[in-house]
Amino acid sequence: MTNRVVLGKLNGSMAARVSKPGIDVLTASALEDFFLHESFKGHRILQTGSIPFATNTTTCTIYYPDWGFVPIIFMVPAASDTAVYPFLSGGNLVGVWNIEQEPTRTSCVFTIQTPLQSSLYVRYVILPLVN
């Protein structure tokens, strides 16, 4: 299966990339190979972070400055502050996401439910919404 999404560190820098079908996001170099790339005008990374969660259900709020618009927030579960999990792992659900209210110009409230026995992190990247 082709790697198509990077959200986090890539070659020592923060990256938010989605490649086109059949193109490996880890080796692609031409910008036309991407649907999303952090160097695209308007798709600059505004904020990144990690949020630790306990097991069971946790509610969290991500706060960010008022940039004058509601941004796009990408979130992925992670085994640690750096290792990203897929949403499904070996048939076992890693986490169930629920946005509690519409994201605003300054925050996003969400919950996660996880059956894992160990701690879970959420890695996130915030990008501007461009029409």
For 24, residues 6+ apart whose C-beta sits below 8 A from its C-beta are 2, 3, 4
Domain spans, the chain: 1-43, 46-131
Determine phi and psi for 78, rounding to 5 degrees.
Answer: -140, 150
* Closest by CA position to 54, among listed 125, 113, 124: 113
Query: CA-to-CA distance for 124 and 107, rounded, in angstroms?
Result: 13
What are the pLDDT digits (tens) for 74-89?
877 666 555 554 443 3
Q: What is the mean pLDDT of the chain?
A: 76
N-terminal to C-terminal alpha carbon distance within the chain: 31
What is the pTM assigned to this prediction?
Answer: 0.58
Architecture per CATH, domain 46-131, reads as Sandwich (2.60)
